[in-house]
């Protein structure tokens, strides 16, 4: 049996961040990372489309937590201890400058996730963290105050262990055997599959400012959801039309906040899109004025409301008119149909697609079983969790990594004492 002071299971974002901070804060401790793969930090590598969206330029804890459909309440205290600003400082101190993009996402200035990986590998080496690859953890037993961890390459023991295995079903099973409960994992951060003539053949078109509401009396399951989610599920912002349906942060946000309910519905539900964020009646008034002002022009060719031309064409043709219909010829039903298409167009979602830049799993260790002052298990002294292994996940934008950094840092502070 190989003894270590601290064993970290999982050589990903949370595992490395914790290991480096522990070893730096207390160089006397022997820290080992057990990683099942032949490489470490593989998700960091592919993250953010290869650029690694490290964190987000949101510096108020109360605002920051609102990006976490699961974990909102639990992360508030931890964010007061280690936040986005601390992340930026942590990397800058180690020679990695970060930059803010217009939407608040933060990336290394190099635009390469390899910069983050190199930083972690250098720091781990500097503080003599032992990184053991091809060590898949097969069982975790607790004997008195010692954890025995069996891997594919031998048995390890330590008094303190950190589980940082991300969304790994096998590890969740081992943790269930230790008495923990796990919320059923379901995907989050996906785009919507929609087959509909109104968005057919216009991929790449962006409507700049839409409001999307999920229909069918949508009421996300209670219990683990925040108060906000129990209300109607809505989001606003730009909407991207893709080859297979709809995408953009507004859609990804719905996918995160509705993850559990959408899974229950097998990803079949309806959404209502208000393409111009105006009330139906107000829109109708505008259209009536246009009927007078543009009488001789065709509706098809006179794009309105700053909509992309190709989208306007589609919505016009879906409103009981042809490309030749002139404004003067519009009857009441046609005016109302167009106003409806613009302000309350209903689409059937049928399935989901992976968003290639970022995806996570909703589900993981029940948050009630964790002390968020230390990220230690309430069931077993010396057992800690950080990152996606917990039932915490966020919308897209760098928030998922921030959860990993914050949890790992707080674990390190406590473990290294």
Q: If DSSP codes are grouped into helix, strand and coil, which group holds residue 311?
A: helix
Nearer to ligand FAD, 17 or 218 (CB): 17
Helix axes 13-25, 113-126, angle to 10 degrees: 30
- Which one of 6-14, 20-28, 114-122, 190-198 is the stretch in contact with ligand FAD (CB under 6 A)? 6-14
Residues 132-151 that bind ligand FAD (CB under 6 A): 136-137
Q: Which stretch binds ligand FAD (CB under 6 A): 40-48, 80-88, 154-162, 249-257?
A: 40-48
**Helix orientation angle between 72-81 and 399-415, rounded to the nearest 10 degrees:** 60
Which residue of 6, 7, 8, 14 would you call a contact of ligand FAD, by CB under 6 A?
Answer: 14
Of 11 and 258, the one with the shorter C-beta distance to ligand FAD is 11
Return d(Cα 336, Cα 340) in angstroms, integer.
6
Is 192 strand, coil or helix? Answer: strand
Please, what is the minimum distance in Å from the beta carbon of residue 188 to ligand FAD? Answer: 10
User: Taking the complex as a whole, how short is the minimal distance between the CB of residue 80 and ligand FAD, in angstroms?
Assistant: 20
Q: Are 160 and 375 in contact (CB under 8 A)?
A: no
Closest residue by beta carbon to ligand FAD: 12
Tokens 């002294």 sit on residue: 381
Interface size with ligand FAD, residues (CB under 6 A): 38
Q: Kindly state whether residue 358 participates in binding ligand FAD, applying the rule CB under 6 A.
A: yes
Q: Which tokens hold the place of 349?
A: 């979602």
Closer CB to ligand FAD, 52 or 182, in the complex: 52
Q: Which one of 46, 286, 340, 379 is in contact with ligand FAD (CB under 6 A)?
A: 46
* From candidates 8, 75, 131, 164, binder to ligand FAD by CB under 6 A: 164
Residues between 376 and 395 that touch ligand FAD (CB under 6 A): 387-389
Categorise residue 204: left if φ over 0, alpha if ψ from -120 to 50, beta otherwise. left
Interacting residues with ligand FAD between 53 and 82 (CB under 6 A): 53
Write the DSSP assignment of 317-340 as a string of letters.
HTSS--TT-BGGG--HHHHHHHHH
Query: To 10 degrees, what angle do helices 113-126 and 42-50 make?
Result: 150
Query: Measured from the CB of residue 53, what is the shortest distance to ligand FAD in angstroms?
Result: 3
Query: Can you tell me which of 262, 359, 375, 405 binds ligand FAD, judged by CB under 6 A?
Result: 359
Helix (H, G, I), strand (E, B) or coil at 344: coil
Instruction: For 273-291, give one letter per residue: b (16+ CB within 10 A) or e.
Output: bbbbebeeeebbeebeebb
CB 346 within 8 A of CB 272: yes
**Binding flag, residue 180, ligand FAD (CB under 6 A):** no
Q: Which of 4, 35, 273, 338 binds ligand FAD (CB under 6 A)?
A: 35
Residue 110 three-state SS: coil
Binding of residue 364 to ligand FAD (CB under 6 A)? no
- Is 166 a binding residue for ligand FAD by CB under 6 A? The answer is yes
Residue listed under structure tokens 């989001």 = 235
Is 20 an interacting residue with respect to ligand FAD (CB under 6 A)?
no
Distance of CA 35 to the CA centre of its chain: 24
**Of the two residues 64 and 137, which places its CB atom closer to ligand FAD in the complex?**
137
**Cα distance between residue 347 and residue 256, in whole Å:** 19
Task: Give the residue, chosen from 7, 8, 11, 20, that forms a contact with ligand FAD under the rule CB under 6 A.
Answer: 11
Q: Give contact residues for ligand FAD (rule: CB under 6 A).
A: 9-15, 34-37, 42-43, 46-48, 52-53, 136-137, 164-166, 168, 170-171, 357-360, 387-389, 398-401, 404
């Amino acid at each position: 049996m190989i003894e270590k002071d601290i064993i970290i299971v999982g050589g990903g974002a949370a595992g490395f961040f914790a290991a480096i901070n522990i070893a730096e804060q207390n160089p006397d401790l022997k820290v080992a990372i057990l990683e099942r793969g032949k490489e470490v930090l593989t998700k960091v590598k592919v993250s953010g489309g290869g650029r690694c969206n490290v964190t987000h330029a949101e510096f108020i804890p109360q605002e920051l937590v609102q990006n976490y459909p699961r974990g909102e309440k639990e992360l508030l205290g931890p964010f007061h201890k280690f936040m986005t600003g601390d992340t930026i400082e942590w990397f800058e101190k180690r020679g990695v400058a970060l930059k803010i993009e217009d939407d608040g996402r933060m990336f290394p200035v190099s635009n390469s996730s390899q910069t983050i990986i190199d930083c972690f590998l250098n720091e781990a080496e500097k503080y003599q963290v032992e990184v053991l690859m091809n060590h898949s953890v097969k069982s975790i037993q607790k004997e008195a105050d010692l954890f025995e961890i069996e891997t594919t390459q031998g048995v390890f023991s330590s008094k303190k262990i950190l589980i940082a295995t991300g969304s790994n079903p096998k590890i969740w099973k081992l943790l269930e055997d230790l008495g923990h409960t796990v919320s059923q994992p379901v995907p989050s951060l996906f785009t919507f599959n929609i087959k509909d003539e109104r968005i057919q053949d216009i991929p790449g078109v962006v409507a700049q400012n839409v409001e999307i509401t999920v229909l069918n009396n949508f009421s996300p399951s209670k219990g683990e959801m925040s108060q906000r989610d129990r209300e109607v599920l809505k989001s606003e912002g730009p909407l991207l039309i893709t080859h297979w349906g709809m995408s953009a942060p507004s859609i990804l946000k719905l996918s995160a906040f509705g993850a559990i309910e959408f899974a229950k519905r097998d990803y079949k539900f309806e959404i209502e899109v208000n393409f111009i964020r105006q009330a139906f009646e107000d829109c109708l008034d505008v259209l009536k004025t246009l009927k007078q002002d543009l009488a001789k022009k065709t509706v098809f060719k006179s794009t309105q409301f700053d909509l992309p031309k190709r989208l306007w064409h589609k919505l016009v043709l879906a409103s009981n008119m042809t490309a030749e219909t002139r404004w003067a010829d519009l009857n009441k039903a046609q005016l109302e149909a167009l106003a409806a298409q613009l302000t309350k167009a209903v689409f059937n979602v049928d399935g989901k697609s992976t968003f290639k830049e970022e995806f996570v799993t909703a589900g993981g260790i029940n948050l009630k079983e964790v002390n968020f002052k230390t990220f230690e298990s309430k069931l077993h002294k010396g057992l800690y969790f950080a990152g996606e292994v917990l039932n915490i996940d966020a919308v897209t934008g760098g928030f998922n990594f921030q959860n990993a950094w914050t949890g790992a840092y707080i674990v390190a502070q406590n473990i290294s004492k």
